């Protein structure tokens, strides 16, 4: 009888041990469920076209991401559903229309936001002419890594007359001109591709135009102190002496001198 009782106890203890072991193994071997969230991975084209990207859920909740220098951004940990992507474009670009994104669980959804150039020039351009200080109220221009063209037009004076200055720097060179290559010193009047203009327009529409002639020197020059094509900004100084061009009323003075010219712009 004692043997039978001992056997029963041993079997009971063995069963308990097996239960604990198998229970522990089943817990350790259990596979954790995969996360149910998805990710939106985005790219700006060009990389610096926006300062922030906003993701809006169907219920109106929003999240904001700041793109890195390469223009990439991400929204991880998103519940499945439909979202809308919008971007805060910089002053030089037009933002695309909102982009709808359908997020699925455990998937990464690539999105590219493509921006168009606005070609808006903003900033300041000022100069002195005939002892009078002028500041541009309207700016225009074209800018690439190989070309620089800037025009500033003053506000009308009491008689409705306008004054403007223009500077053109090109990489085409010609007649000893330094090809445009960003920041640097550029003498004017050495090439038909590197020059400056000063214009006077009357309220009646008549115009006198002056341009830098062939005698370019350090007196007529543009000093581009900063030219960041990636950040779309530039700053510098200019001064020049210009003679009448073929376009005008024929009553122009022998020359015009522009001094203390300055510009600080984004484009």
C-beta of residue 160 within 8 angstroms of C-beta of residue 212: no
Among 75, 98, 117, residue at a domain's last position:
117
Residue 236 lies in a domain: yes
Are 176 and 248 within one domain? Answer: yes
CA distance 11 to 1: 15
Mean pLDDT for the stretch of residues 150-155: 96
Do 194 and 253 lie in one domain? The reply is yes
Task: Indicate if the alpha-carbon torsion angle 181, 193, 258, 141 is positive or negative.
Answer: negative
Average pLDDT, the chain: 84
Tell whether 216 is covered by a domain: yes
Kindly state whether residues 104 and 162 are assigned to the same domain.
no
For the stretch 109-142, pLDDT in tens is 999 999 887 778 999 999 999 899 999 999 999 8
Q: For residues 133 and 233, state if they share a domain.
A: yes
DSSP string for residues in 16-35: HHHHHHHHHHHHHHPPPPPP
Residues 88 and 170 in one domain: no
- Mark which of 117, 139, 156 sits at the end of a domain: 117
Task: Give the domain range for residue 221.
Answer: 122-266
3-state class (DSSP) for residue 62: strand
Looking at the fold, whether 231 and 109 belong to one and the same domain comes out as no
pLDDT at 108 over 80: yes
Question: Do the Cβ atoms of 188 and 212 come closer than 8 Å?
Answer: yes
Q: Is 2 within a domain?
A: no
What sign does the CA torsion over 43, 45, 50, 55 have?
negative
Per the domain annotation, does 11 fall within a domain?
A: no
| pLDDT score of 4 more than 70 | no
Lookup: tokens for 46: 């060009």
28 pLDDT more than 50 = no
User: pLDDT digit string (tens) for 214-230?
Assistant: 655 557 999 999 999 87
Q: How many domains does the chain have?
A: 2
Instruction: Work out the number of other CB atoms within 10 angstroms of the CB of residue 234.
Output: 24
Distance of CA 62 to the CA centre of its chain: 24
Q: How far apart are CA 83 and CA 58, in angstroms?
A: 6
Distance CA 153, CA 48 (A): 29
Whether 68 and 95 share a structural domain: yes
Average pLDDT on 11-25 reads 48
DSSP 191: B
Residue at which a domain ends, from 102, 117, 132: 117
pLDDT of residue 189: 80
Neighbours of 162 (CB within 10 A): 18
Residue 112 and residue 126 in one domain: no
């Amino acid at each position: 009888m004692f043997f039978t009782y001992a056997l029963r106890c041993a079997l009971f203890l063995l069963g308990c041990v097996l239960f604990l072991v198998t229970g522990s193994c089943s817990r350790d071997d259990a596979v954790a469920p995969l996360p149910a969230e998805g990710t939106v991975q985005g790219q700006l084209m060009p990389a610096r076209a926006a300062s922030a990207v906003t993701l809006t859920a169907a219920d109106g909740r929003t999240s904001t991401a700041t793109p890195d220098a390469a223009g990439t951004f991400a929204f991880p940990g998103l519940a499945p559903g439909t979202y809308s992507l919008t971007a805060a474009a910089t002053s030089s670009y037009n933002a695309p229309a909102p982009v709808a994104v359908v997020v699925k669980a455990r998937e990464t959804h690539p999105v590219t936001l493509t921006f168009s150039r606005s070609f808006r020039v903003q900033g300041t351009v000022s100069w002195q002419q005939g002892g009078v200080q002028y500041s541009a109220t309207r700016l225009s221009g074209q800018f690439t890594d190989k070309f620089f063209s800037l025009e500033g037009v003053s506000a009308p004076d009491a008689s409705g007359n306008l004054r403007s200055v223009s500077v053109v720097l090109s990489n085409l060179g010609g007649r000893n001109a330094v090809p445009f290559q960003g920041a640097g010193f550029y003498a004017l009047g050495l090439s038909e591709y590197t020059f400056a203009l000063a214009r006077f327009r009357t309220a009646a529409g008549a115009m006198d135009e002056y341009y830098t002639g062939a005698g370019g020197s350090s007196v007529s020059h543009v000093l581009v102190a900063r030219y960041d094509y990636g950040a779309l900004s530039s700053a510098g100084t200019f001064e020049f002496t210009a003679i009448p061009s073929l376009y005008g009323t024929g009553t122009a003075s022998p020359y015009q001198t522009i001094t203390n010219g300055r510009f600080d712009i984004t484009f």
